[in-house]
């Protein structure tokens, strides 16, 4: 699951009162709806190795050597993007990138994808061609080929992409493998995309400063960490992995819950705020870099757990041309909570303030 632009940046959508009946899965938020679906559709196919609830589902074709992964993401105009802020090629690029990021989080190499597209009647052919130019740029850059799709009319633009990838040697990493004592790492920088979104809110669509351009680019054309994900899955150094799409404070509890005993006991995580690879320049345009590193979504960096005994090997062998990895905290015994641990050792909870499609 990934986030788009947060709903609270869209006028008229903030704190819209819920009209759902008591116990509604929508009212209870996206995670609760995923739980409902996991119960409703338990895995029962022998070829299916991982069903609902991870970044991607995993299956093994009969007689095949490797595993295949499939993931799907939908972007809705007005919820996940605004057409006036988004060039069509950027929308195409990002729509595919968020899917490839889910494959990267399992360690699967992208292979193919399909695109279903709803197009309002006011869209020009030029818009459609530019959209597919962005799709092609992202797909070509990561070895993924468009193989099919569907086209429909609609009142707003809706893009739904399904991407599938392959792990030739069958090595994939799920969210669920972390253990107490594991070290938590992230790739790249956190809060950069949210800093770019803040620039758009301030009307700075064509800034000159390099840091602002970098933030805008991260928001408009996020780079899925396919090569890093594939390397990490094959390294033997990683026990659990996911991508950070809805923000660290929302996604890390999901990794904690998945890695527990399955009966809701979960596991806690401790995060050292001073170690977070926050995007410092965003303070220049009024952001709090630490808050964005914790709660800002759409970075599409990888979050992964490394057994303590594997740390040295990871650092010694991680290729220098891949995005840098940073040790941000540790998995500890607990019940699914995430704590910020200050340098003086004091702990305070990190509440999930990331994106939930239905909670606002």
Tokens of 217: 């680019």
Stretch that binds a second copy, among 24-32, 86-94, 258-266, 323-331 (CB under 8 A): 24-32
HEC letters along 57-110: EEECCCCCCCEEEEEEEEEEECCCECHHHCCHHHHHHHHHHHHHHHHHHHCCEE
Among 8, 145, 202, 262, binds a second copy (CB under 8 A): 145
Stretch that binds a second copy, among 15-23, 87-95, 209-217, 309-317 (CB under 8 A): 15-23
HEC letters along 273-326: HHHCCECHHHHHHCCCHHHHHHHCCCCCEEEEEECHHHHHHHHHHCCCCCCCEE
Among 108, 138, 158, 200, binds a second copy (CB under 8 A): 158
Q: Closer CB to a second copy, residue 117 or residue 233?
A: 117
For the bound state, the minimum distance from the C-beta of residue 356 to a second copy, rounded and expressed in Å, comes to 10
Q: Closer CB to a second copy, residue 52 or residue 322?
A: 52
Encoded one letter per residue, x for contact with a second copy by CB under 8 A and - for no contact, window 161-180 reads: -x-x-x-x------------
**85/202 Cα distance (integer angstroms):** 12
Encoded one letter per residue, x for contact with a second copy by CB under 8 A and - for no contact, window 310-339 reads: ------------------------------
Which phi and psi (to 5°) does residue 143 adopt?
70, 30
Residue 38 neighbours by CB distance under 10 Å: 13
User: Rule CB under 8 A: is residue 59 a binding residue for a second copy?
Assistant: yes
Mapping DSSP to helix (H, G, I), strand (E, B) and coil, where does residue 333 land? coil
User: Rule CB under 8 A: is residue 202 a binding residue for a second copy?
Assistant: no
Among 11, 125, 203, 264, binds a second copy (CB under 8 A): 125
User: Rule CB under 8 A: is residue 236 a binding residue for a second copy?
Assistant: no
**75/245 Cα distance (integer angstroms):** 13
User: Rule CB under 8 A: is residue 357 a binding residue for a second copy?
Assistant: yes
Between the two ends of the chain, the Cα-to-Cα distance in Å is 17
Sequence-separated (6 or more) residues with CB below 8 Å from residue 340: 270, 271, 272, 273, 294, 347, 348, 349, 350
User: Rule CB under 8 A: is residue 301 a binding residue for a second copy?
Assistant: no
For the bound state, the minimum distance from the C-beta of residue 58 to a second copy, rounded and expressed in Å, comes to 9
Mapping DSSP to helix (H, G, I), strand (E, B) and coil, where does residue 269 land? strand
Restricted to residues 62-101, the positions that interact with a second copy (CB under 8 A) are 62-66, 68, 70-76, 78-80
Among 44, 206, 208, 346, binds a second copy (CB under 8 A): 44
Q: By the 8 A CB rule, do 71 and 55 touch?
A: yes
Tokens of 78: 């007005």
Can you say how many angstroms the Cα of residue 306 is from the centroid of all Cα atoms in its chain?
19
For the bound state, the minimum distance from the C-beta of residue 159 to a second copy, rounded and expressed in Å, comes to 9
CA dihedral of 203, 205, 206, 207, whole degrees rounded to 10: 60
The continuous run of DSSP H or E covering 251 comes out as: helix 248-258
Stretch that binds a second copy, among 152-160, 178-186, 223-231, 247-255 (CB under 8 A): 152-160
Size of the site for a second copy (CB under 8 A): 88
For the bound state, the minimum distance from the C-beta of residue 135 to a second copy, rounded and expressed in Å, comes to 8
User: Rule CB under 8 A: is residue 206 a binding residue for a second copy?
Assistant: no
Q: Closer CB to a second copy, residue 2 or residue 192?
A: 2
For the bound state, the minimum distance from the C-beta of residue 171 to a second copy, rounded and expressed in Å, comes to 15
User: Rule CB under 8 A: is residue 112 a binding residue for a second copy?
Assistant: yes
For the bound state, the minimum distance from the C-beta of residue 43 to a second copy, rounded and expressed in Å, comes to 7
User: Rule CB under 8 A: is residue 18 a binding residue for a second copy?
Assistant: yes
User: Rule CB under 8 A: is residue 342 a binding residue for a second copy?
Assistant: no
């Amino acid at each position: 699951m990934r986030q788009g632009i947060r709903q609270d940046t869209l006028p008229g959508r903030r704190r819209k009162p819920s009209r759902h009946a008591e116990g509604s899965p929508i009212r209870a938020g996206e995670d609760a709806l995923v739980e409902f679906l996991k119960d409703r559709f338990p895995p029962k196919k022998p070829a299916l190795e991982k069903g609902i609830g991870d970044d991607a589902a995993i299956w093994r074709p009969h007689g095949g050597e490797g595993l295949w992964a499939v993931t799907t993401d939908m972007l809705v105009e007005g919820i996940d993007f605004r057409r006036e802020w988004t060039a069509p090629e950027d929308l195409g690029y990002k729509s595919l990138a968020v899917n490839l990021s889910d494959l990267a989080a399992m360690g699967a190499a992208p292979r193919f994808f399909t695109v279903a597209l709803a197009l309002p009647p006011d869209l020009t052919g030029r818009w459609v061609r530019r959209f597919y130019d962005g799709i092609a740029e992202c797909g070509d850059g990561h070895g993924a080929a468009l193989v099919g799709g569907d086209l429909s009319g609609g009142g707003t633009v809706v893009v739904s992409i399904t991407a599938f990838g392959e792990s030739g040697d069958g090595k994939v990493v799920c969210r669920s493998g972390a253990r107490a004592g594991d070290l938590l790492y992230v790739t790249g920088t956190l809060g950069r995309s949210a800093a770019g979104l803040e620039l758009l809110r301030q009307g700075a669509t064509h800034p000159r400063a390099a840091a602002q351009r970098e933030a805008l680019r991260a928001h408009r054309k996020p780079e899925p960490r396919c090569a890093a994900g594939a390397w990490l899955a094959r390294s033997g150094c990683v026990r659990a992995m996911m991508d950070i799409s809805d923000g660290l404070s929302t996604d890390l509890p999901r990794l904690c819950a998945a890695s527990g005993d399955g009966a809701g006991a979960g596991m806690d995580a401790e995060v050292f705020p001073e170690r977070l690879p926050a995007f410092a320049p965003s303070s220049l345009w009024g952001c709090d870099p630490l808050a964005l590193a914790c709660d800002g979504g759409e970075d599409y960096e990888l979050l992964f757990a490394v057994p303590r005994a594997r740390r040295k090997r990871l650092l010694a062998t991680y290729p220098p041309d891949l995005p840098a990895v940073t040790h941000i905290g540790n998995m500890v015994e607990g019940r699914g909570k995430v704590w910020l641990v200050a340098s003086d050792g004091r702990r305070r909870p990190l509440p999930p303030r990331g994106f939930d499609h239905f909670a606002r």
